[in-house]
Structure 1
Amino acid sequence: MSWIMRLAAACLLAAAAIATAPQPAASQTLQDIVSRGEIRIGYIPAPPSVIKDPVSGELGGFSIDGAREIARMMGVKPVFIETTWGNFVAGLQSGQFDLSIAGTFATVQRAMVVQFTRPIFYLGYGAVVRTNDTRFKTLEDINAPGVKIAVVQGGSAEDYARRNMPKAQVITLATGNLTAGFVEVAAGRADVSIEDAFTIDRFVTRQPSVRNLFAGKPYNFTPIAWSVRRGNAELANVINTGIEVLLSSGRWDDMTRGLDVGTRFIDAPNFVAWPRPPAGGN
């Protein structure tokens, strides 16, 4: 067989492989969303931003309300799809959903695989320890051999613990429940759990056996944002505009009033609804 015939045969085989290969997920362009009349929205239950009724499955919370309002302004129907902290990136990349409204810490590492919206607010970290445990005073005390740190798998707290506390043992929990690590501490299976200060403060008010080691002085303030598939700048621009409208008009403040979050939402010391760091943030 001549080299020309071999080349032609190779081209035919390549063309056949392309034709029969699994097709990529929908491109998720803005036009795709408008054409089908719906925007698919990934969410993770995490009060008060996303609240899921355990009986009816009904969704509420300021992120759900904000996403519904932006979808209304876009003239499309919001379709909500539950995901986890470990899977929301894959959900965006595979086309399972167009937008993730998981209240995600916008880090450089994550920005390499997803495209974040503008910050919605800023949030610091805390650390859960048992109330009677006096071993820990600073972050340096936690970074010690024999210390067990419980974190949610795929969450930003896992990344923070692995980067900043290499001497300790990091225990990852395959769950979307951000309070799972706190339960491990309360049960004595872990010494410390790291998570956002707002979630911690809500938990410790109901569980006197544990406390926030950094109560009133959160650290590592980081922007919280939504995300779209990396490179989908057109959709990100529309979502950013919607977020700006809701924030600047005060409508997002209105949506957060009356939420049953265990504390005053807007005035909580470790939480800021407006996109600026609290005093003393870094």
Structure 2
Amino acid sequence: MVRLSRFVRQTFLSFVAVSCVVASAPSHADGTAGWESVKEAGVLRCGAAVAPPYVMRDPKTGEYSGFFSELCRNFGQNVLKVKVEFVDTTWDNIVAGLQSNKWDLSMALNDTPEREKAISFSAPATDYNVSFVYNRNNPKIAKGAHSIAEIDKPGVTVAVMSGSAQDKAITAVFKQAQIMRLPGNDETRLALMSKRADLLADANTTNMLLTEAHPDWAVAIQPNPPLAQQEVAFGIRKDTPAADIAVLNKYVSEQVSSGAVNRLIKTSVQSMLASNK
């Protein structure tokens, strides 16, 4: 796991600083981060960019699900004792919207050095790496491929969500294949299924859903060595008080250690697979 020392420090803070008194903060309106501000407003705003099974949105009802959505909902309702509102966004805007106070937490963000320059992160809820899915009948992709060199070739097109962690990861390593950047998960899957793209680059957990839903044609490539092995956490603004970060870290750490996160992941995966039948 990357930056383990930072995680250890945050976890330690969560148990020693959580008892600190959080200083009073102004309302949402002036952009000051802090749970007192959230409590005064009476609502925790969760920035939501869709990426199953982390964050999912029912296109008919607009209702959010997925294990990070549940973590954000539970934190707001059970820890802060406020209502929870999900604010729809994209991966291109997930950091900027947090910085500009459009929401209080960004969900399911990969903790990267680039993002750490702009925002802070909670303790991690899970790990992440990039995998690829292709159609087993596609002659451009060699069976048994397991390295970037075997798929980074002229004439190969890779679909990816624009602005996502996987977009940045493959941009750094693909030199010959064409990268097709699309706004969301639905668009990237459609590009692969319609054969406009030869490969779909996405989070390993997300791609697992696709291969399990379509075992007749979908095959996953897990690069060796792993590509973009990172931690996935909540994004929070830089001006969030340390005591407030400790409250969030304590909550996340307890959800991980109790097995609640793993249970939420399994539930989200099962829900996604059921909706694809």
User: Into which bin does the TM-score normalised by the smaller protein fall?
Assistant: 0.7 to 0.9
Tell me, what secondary structure is at the counterpart of 2:213?
coil
Partner of 1:160: 169
Post-superposition CA distance 1:186-213 (Å, at most 9, x none): 3221222211122112112333333212
Are the counterparts in 2 of residues 201 and 215 from structure 1 also a CA contact under 8 Å?
A: no
Partner of 2:19: none
Partner of 1:144: 153
Residues 248, 152 of structure 1: CA spacing in aligned structure 2 closer, same or farther, 3 A cutoff? same
Residues 165, 255 of structure 1: CA spacing in aligned structure 2 closer, same or farther, 3 A cutoff? closer
Tell me, what secondary structure is at the counterpart of 1:205?
helix
Residue 97 (structure 2) pairs with residue 88 (structure 1): no
Residues 150, 74 of structure 1: CA spacing in aligned structure 2 closer, same or farther, 3 A cutoff? same
Are the counterparts in 2 of residues 25 and 94 from structure 1 also a CA contact under 8 Å?
A: no
| Aligned counterpart in structure 2 of residue 246 of structure 1, from 241, 246, 255 | 255
Bigger relative contact order, structure 1 or 2 (CA pairs below 8 A, ≥6 apart): 2
TM-score (norm 2): 0.75
Counterpart mapping for 1:221-236 below 5 A: 221-234=229-242, 235-236=244-245
Residues 191, 251 of structure 1: CA spacing in aligned structure 2 closer, same or farther, 3 A cutoff? closer
* Distance across 2 between alignment mates of 1:215 and 1:115: 29
* Distance across 2 between alignment mates of 1:161 and 1:25: 38
Post-superposition CA distance 1:22-73 (Å, at most 9, x none): xx95222333223222221111233333332332222333222222222221
Residues 184, 255 of structure 1: CA spacing in aligned structure 2 closer, same or farther, 3 A cutoff? closer
Are the counterparts in 1 of residues 32 and 239 from structure 2 also a CA contact under 8 Å?
A: no
* Distance across 2 between alignment mates of 1:139 and 1:31: 47
* Distance across 1 between alignment mates of 2:255 and 2:86: 20
Residues 133, 25 of structure 1: CA spacing in aligned structure 2 closer, same or farther, 3 A cutoff? farther
Unaligned runs of 5+ in 1: 1-23, 264-282
* Distance across 2 between alignment mates of 1:131 and 1:159: 26
What is the CA distance between 1:241 and its match in structure 2?
1.6
* Distance across 1 between alignment mates of 2:262 and 2:221: 29
| Aligned counterpart in structure 2 of residue 124 of structure 1, from 122, 129, 140 | 129
Partner of 1:19: none
Counterpart mapping for 1:5-154 below 5 A: 25-71=30-76, 72-101=78-107, 103-134=108-139, 135-136=141-142, 137=145, 138-154=147-163
Identity %: 25
Are the counterparts in 2 of residues 151 and 158 from structure 1 also a CA contact under 8 Å?
A: yes
What is the CA distance between 1:77 and its match in structure 2?
2.3
Say what the alpha-carbon RMSD is for the aligned residues.
Answer: 2.7
* Distance across 2 between alignment mates of 1:255 and 1:195: 20
TM-score (norm 1): 0.74
Point out the more displaced range, 182-191 or 115-124.
182-191
Counterpart mapping for 1:164-183 below 5 A: 164-173=173-182, 175-177=183-185, 179-183=186-190
What is the CA distance between 1:216 and its match in structure 2?
11
What is the CA distance between 1:254 and its match in structure 2?
4.7
4+ residue runs of structure 1 moved beyond 6 angstroms? none
Point out the more displaced range, 107-116 or 242-251.
242-251
AA aligned opposite 1:81: V
Tell me, what secondary structure is at the counterpart of 2:106?
strand
Residues 216, 204 of structure 1: CA spacing in aligned structure 2 closer, same or farther, 3 A cutoff? farther
Unaligned runs of 5+ in 2: 1-28
Residues 37, 228 of structure 1: CA spacing in aligned structure 2 closer, same or farther, 3 A cutoff? same
Are the counterparts in 1 of residues 53 and 272 from structure 2 also a CA contact under 8 Å?
A: no
Partner of 2:204: 197
